[in-house]
C-alpha cells in the first residue's frame, strides 16, 4: 500500500523475532502446562497454555462526562455514513486517548495476516488527533477514507452505505491491527468432551471458560472496550437434548417490535424481543444429534457477558427480495440509568464456583468486571434520515453535560430532548460505576 499522510509508524522488529523475544521472556512460558485435576465441585478446571502476546499497559477505565474537542468532517460525496460514526468513536474518551497519545504505535501486531500492519490504526489515529486538535471548523477526511477503501473497496465510489457496516469494518480492522496474540494456538477447537462439559456447567462458569478460550486467539483494546458474549442454547422438544454455544459480539443488533398501531416502543421491548425464545420447526427444524433426525426445538439467545462500551444497533431495515423497508418506529431509550442487570445471569451462590477463577483478576473499578449491577449511560448516537438508498447520517455526542450535533462539516449545540427521536439508529452506551 502506498503510504498515506499520517504519523510515521515505528520500525517493527520482524515477526519471528517478536515471537522469540516473547517466548524467551519471563512473562510467558514456552513449556506446555498440564491440565489441572477435576476440582472439588465436579467442574473441570482447565489450565490454559500461555500464548505469545504483546503486553499491554493501557488500563480499561470508566470515564466521567468531559468536554469533547472535535471538528466537523467534510462530506466527500455520500460519506456521511463514515463521518457520523467517526464522531461517536472519537467521543469514546479512553479509547480515543489510546490513539491521541500514540500508544497504538507500541501495540501494533505486524505478524497478523488479518491485519494491515498498523496502516488502518495509523490512519485512524491521525484522524482522531486532527479532530481533537480542533484547529479548523471542519476537516477533509480524504486520506483516512483512502486507507479505508484500500482495505475495503466496497466503500469506494459514491454509493451510499450503511453506517453500521462501516463501524463493524473499522472496529474489526482496528482489532486485527492491535491483536495482542502473536501466535494463535494451532488446535484450540472444542472437543466433544469439552462441549458436553459446557452443557453441565453453570452459564457463569461456562461463559468465562469460553471467553478465556476466545481471548487466546483474539485479544485487543477493541475487545477490552467493545466486545461482549452471547449464549445460544438449542433444546430438542422431543428428547430435550441441548446444545449451547458462546460467541463474542461487537454490538447488539436489536429487533424493533411491530404491530398494528405501534408507533412507539421502548428499548426494553426491543431487548425482550431479542432474548425471546423461538420455536425452530418445519424448514428451520434442528438436526438433533441425539435423535439423529430433524426435530422441533427451542432456541434461546441470551447475554453472558457485557462490555464497558455497549453499541446497540436498532434494526430499522428489513429486506424483502430486492426491496428494503425502513421502520420509522420511535424507540424510547434512556439517556441515563439503562439497567441491564436483569438480562445477565445472576451471581453464583458462595462456594459453587470454588476452584474456578477468571483468566485474570478483575477489580471492581474495572468496567470489564462481570459483577452486577450493569448500568449504562448514553454518550453518542448515530442517526439515519431517509431510506437506505437515499438517506443521510448525523451524530449526537455528549460533551460535559451538554450535547453537540454533528452534521458532516457543521457542528451545533443540541438539547437533551432532541436525542430520543425516530432517526436514532446506533446507540453508544458506556458502563457507569456502581
Give catalytic residue positions.
80, 392
Q: Identify the three-state secondary structure at position 266.
A: strand
C-alpha cell at 366: 474495572
Q: Identify the three-state secondary structure at position 341.
A: helix
For residue 72, count other CB atoms closer than 10 A to its CB: 20
Residue (of 175, 84, 48) closest to 383 by Cα position: 84
Strand pairing of 330-332 and 264-266? parallel
Of all helices (H) and strands (E), which one includes residue 235? strand 228-236
User: How far is Cα 398 from Cα 418, in angstroms, rounded to an integer?
Assistant: 12
- Name 393's bridge partners: 384
User: How far is Cα 156 from Cα 154, in angstroms, rounded to an integer?
Assistant: 6
Residue (of 174, 165, 185, 129) closest to 5 by Cα position: 129
User: How far is Cα 30 from Cα 24, in angstroms, rounded to an integer?
Assistant: 8
Mark out the alpha helices in 261-314 (DSSP H runs).
267-275
User: How far is Cα 114 from Cα 218, in angstroms, rounded to an integer?
Assistant: 11
C-alpha cell at 71: 471538528
Question: What DSSP line would sit under 264-297, residue for residue?
Answer: EEEHHHHHHHHH--EEE-GGG-EEETTTTEEE-E
Residue (of 434, 304, 310, 307) closest to 373 by Cα position: 434
67 neighbors 96 (Cβ within 8 angstroms): no
End-to-end CA distance of the chain, in Å? 46
426 neighbors 311 (Cβ within 8 angstroms): yes
C-alpha cell at 176: 486485527
CA angle 343, 344, 350 (to 5 degrees): 145
Amino acid at each position: 500500500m502506498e503510504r498515506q499522510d499520517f504519523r510515521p509508524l515505528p520500525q517493527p522488529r520482524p515477526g519471528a523475532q517478536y515471537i522469540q523475544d516473547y517466548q524467551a521472556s519471563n512473562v510467558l512460558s514456552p513449556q506446555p502446562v498440564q491440565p489441572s485435576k477435576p476440582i472439588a465441585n465436579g467442574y473441570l478446571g482447565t489450565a490454559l497454555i500461555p500464548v505469545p502476546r504483546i503486553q499491554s499497559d493501557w488500563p480499561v477505565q470508566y470515564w466521567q462526562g468531559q468536554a469533547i474537542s472535535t471538528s466537523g468532517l467534510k462530506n466527500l460525496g455520500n460519506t456521511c455514513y463514515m463521518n457520523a460514526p467517526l464522531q461517536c468513536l472519537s467521543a469514546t474518551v479512553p479509547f480515543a486517548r489510546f490513539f491521541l497519545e500514540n500508544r497504538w504505535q507500541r501495540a501494533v501486531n505486524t505478524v497478523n495476516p488479518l491485519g494491515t500492519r498498523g496502516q488502518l490504526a495509523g490512519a485512524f489515529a491521525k484522524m482522531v488527533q486532527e479532530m481533537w486538535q480542533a484547529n479548523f471548523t471542519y476537516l477533509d477526511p480524504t486520506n483516512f477514507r483512502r486507507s479505508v477503501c484500500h482495505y475495503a473497496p466496497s466503500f469506494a465510489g459514491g454509493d451510499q452505505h450503511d453506517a453500521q457496516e462501516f463501524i463493524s469494518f473499522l472496529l474489526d480492522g482496528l482489532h486485527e491491527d492491535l491483536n495482542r496474540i502473536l501466535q494463535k494456538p494451532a488446535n484450540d477447537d472444542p472437543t466433544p468432551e469439552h462441549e458436553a462439559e459446557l452443557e453441565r456447567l453453570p452459564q457463569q462458569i461456562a461463559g468465562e471458560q469460553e471467553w478465556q478460550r476466545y481471548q487466546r486467539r483474539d485479544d485487543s483494546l477493541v475487545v477490552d472496550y467493545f466486545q461482549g458474549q452471547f449464549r445460544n442454547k438449542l433444546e430438542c422438544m422431543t428428547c430435550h437434548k441441548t446444545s449451547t454455544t458462546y460467541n463474542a459480539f461487537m454490538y447488539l443488533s436489536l429487533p424493533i417490535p411491530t404491530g398494528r398501531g405501534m408507533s412507539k416502543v421502548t428499548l426494553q421491548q426491543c431487548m425482550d424481543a431479542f432474548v425471546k425464545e423461538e420455536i425452530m420447526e418445519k424448514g428451520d427444524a434442528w438436526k438433533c444429534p441425539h435423535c439423529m433426525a430433524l426435530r422441533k426445538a427451542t432456541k434461546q439467545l441470551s447475554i453472558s457477558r457485557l462490555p464497558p462500551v455497549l453499541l446497540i444497533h436498532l434494526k430499522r431495515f428489513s429486506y424483502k427480495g430486492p426491496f428494503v423497508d425502513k421502520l420509522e418506529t420511535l424507540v424510547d431509550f434512556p439517556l441515563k440509568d439503562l439497567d441491564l442487570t436483569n438480562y445477565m445471569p445472576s451471581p453464583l451462590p458462595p462456594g459453587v464456583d470454588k476452584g474456578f477463577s477468571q483468566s485474570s483478576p478483575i477489580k471492581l473499578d474495572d468496567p470489564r468486571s462481570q459483577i452486577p449491577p450493569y448500568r449504562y449511560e448514553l454518550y453518542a448516537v448515530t442517526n439515519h434520515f431517509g431510506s437506505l438508498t437515499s438517506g443521510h447520517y448525523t451524530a449526537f455526542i455528549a460533551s460535559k453535560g451538554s450535547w453537540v450535533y454533528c452534521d458532516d462539516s457543521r457542528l451545533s449545540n443540541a438539547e437533551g430532548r432532541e436525542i430520543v427521536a425516530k432517526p436514532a439508529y446506533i446507540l453508544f452506551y458506556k458502563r457507569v460505576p456502581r
